[in-house]
Amino acid sequence: VQLVESGGGLVQPGKSLKLSCSASGFTFSSYGMHWIRQAPGKGLDWVAYISSSSGTVYADAVKGRFTISRDNAKNTLYLQLNSLKSEDTAIYYCARRGARGYFDYWGQGVMVTVSS
């Protein structure tokens, strides 16, 4: 199993960014997937979830601004980040959902910095 995030970078407040997570080594379409973030020096903060059937759930802090999606043909998970705020600055990890709600595989993370 391998998860590789990309698309991070420095962006101004109010702007947008789209993160990708390329999956391999398992049947991507059969698994729910999550995005989790970690602000510098802080703890883990769950962001969003998409089920294998593309149902979605969001943390209150990002609801209406972020959109999680997936392309099973490309084995890729996405996170569209709109109306970015300084408090969205973090490492963003994608993770696979295990059978009982744990995160059994994680990507290495991608840094998003929101600053003017």
Partner 1 sequence: AIVLNQSPSSIIASQGEKVTITCRASSSISSNYLHWYQQKPGAFPKLVIYSTSYRASGVPSRFSGSGSGTSYSFTISRVEAEDVATYYCQQGSSNPNTFGAGTKLELK
Residues of this chain that bind partner 1 (CB under 8 A): 34, 43-46, 49, 57, 59-60, 93, 97-98, 100-104, 106-109
Comparing CB distances to partner 1, the nearer of 57 and 80 is 57
Q: How far is CA 46 from the centre of its chain?
A: 9
What is the smallest separation between the CB atom of 38 and partner 1, expressed in angstroms?
A: 8
User: What distance in Å separates the CA atoms of residue 116 and residue 107, rounded to the nearest whole number?
Assistant: 28
Q: Which two tokens stand for residue 64?
A: 């209406």
φ, ψ of residue 25 in degrees (nearest 5): 90, 0
Closest CB to partner 1 among residues 46, 72: 46
| Least CB distance to partner 1 at residue 113 (A) | 17
CA distances from 33 to 25, 40, 75 (A): 14, 23, 11
Which lies closer to partner 1 via its Cβ, residue 6 or residue 15?
A: 6
Task: Report in angstroms how near the CB of residue 44 gets to partner 1 at its nearest.
Answer: 4
Q: How far is the CB of 60 from partner 1 (least distance, A)?
A: 7
- How far apart (Å, rounded) are the C-alpha atoms in residues 3 and 57? 21
